[in-house]
Structure 1
Amino acid sequence: MKIVLIGSGNVSTAFAHLFESLGHDILQVYSRSLDQAERLAAKLGTSATSSLTDINKTANLYVVAVTDNAIEQVIEELPQSLKGIVVHTSGATSMDVLTKFPLCGVIYPIQSISKDSDLRSKETPIGIEGNNEIATALLLEIGKSLSKKSFYCDSKQRLALHVAAVFSNNFTNALYQVAFDILKANNLSFDLLKPIIAETAEKVQHHIPKEVQTGPAKRNDQKTIDRHLDFLSGKPNWETIYQELTRLIRNKDT
């Protein structure tokens, strides 16, 4: 398959290595920064451009892998005459932004992708959506080649996945940093928490999270909660987070 990558950041790079490993022909890399496009293109042995009007028009698949804020502008500037399938990779953006193309859709990896991410294990779930039966069938076929965990989901389901991923990944990581800061301020190593973090992550592989919830909020241990809040009194933001999560666990707001 002939592919054009529109974007040169983490997601585009991860997909580039995945497509390359499967023997696809990456014709071109686009980025607003020609230098960045050329760096990724050099790794792939292909051409680069910083002009959307110069996009190669012979590809079978155009992968728009840019930030959510940039998607609509990039789509607007892409030539409408593209014959291949045009997809974006966003979890929070509707497929409707692509309606100017006769064949379009979404390839959404449910993964936190950084420069070191590797999608080649075929273990990353990938959500697929197409604007018609032809596009959906073609994208599902592509999806199955990319991951054994590819599946169909519509735009609403994909948004739900993205929101859930923010809760389970981004917010959790932010809370890890709070824990890190608390320990550092008290001359303790964050390494001390790594076993309990690993244990919790392992539990949710086999149980509904609510079933394995522990801690003072779950036990309604108000004395301990009050001691914790007193400890956090100098950090009002952390205190608020503690109170809100305690309410959540106690099911007062759900």
Structure 2
Amino acid sequence: MIEHLKRIGLTELEAKCYLSLIEHGEQTGYEVAKNISSSRSNVYSSLSSLSKKGACQVIEGKSTTYVAVAIEELISKLQLEFKQSATILNEEIKRAKQKEYHFYNTQGLEAIKSVVNRNIAHSKKEIIVDIDTDALTYFLPALEEADKSGIKVTIITLSPIETTIENVIIDMPSAPSSETTSFSMLFDQEKVLIGSLDKNLVPSAVETKHPALIHEVKLAIRHDMIMEKLKADFGDEIEAKYGKDFFTLL
């Protein structure tokens, strides 16, 4: 029994004192010490600790005596405390495990090329790039190398290109293109790089693993893929029914 009492948080001497109180009933510290053959100073210290742990009660009088709390009451108390501690610990660990997502800003064409090449080299399964055709030339060699190595590379761009990559989607603009040359890249579905290579501004990009931004980039890419499929399969019918501006609005 001593080993089981130790498992619920009692020291060996506390367990012996508790069992003595269970067996002999109300006792003074001297009597407990005599029954378990231990020094009185150590026994008094253990009885005080048992009282604080809720395992015994102290009766003040001419002589201070001690009474064991019934084992079922002690177990109920310990179970309640365990549940409370487990709940608090679970919540604290969840908070401690919450990820912090950072946004890394890069400026300058050469710096952006370095960031893109690093992410391409680090990718394991898939790379999706949505980019202006002229800007694509900066990154095409590294993308082709990744494609040759077995990584699934998909390019969404504005006009046909010469490349060894098979998965190329031509997103023909339905409206005049803006002056801003923006791009987005999705690496292994877990990191995005979005930015601008506008000739009139300093090229800049943001790199992050933030799930909200990844979700938005995925939606934009899915939208482009679906629209191009609809254009290819039903473009004439859709324009005949809804007008030439239908795809422009989307």
TM-score, reference length from structure 1: 0.25
| Higher-strand-fraction structure | 2
TM-score, reference length from structure 2: 0.26
- Greater Rg, structure 1 or structure 2? 2
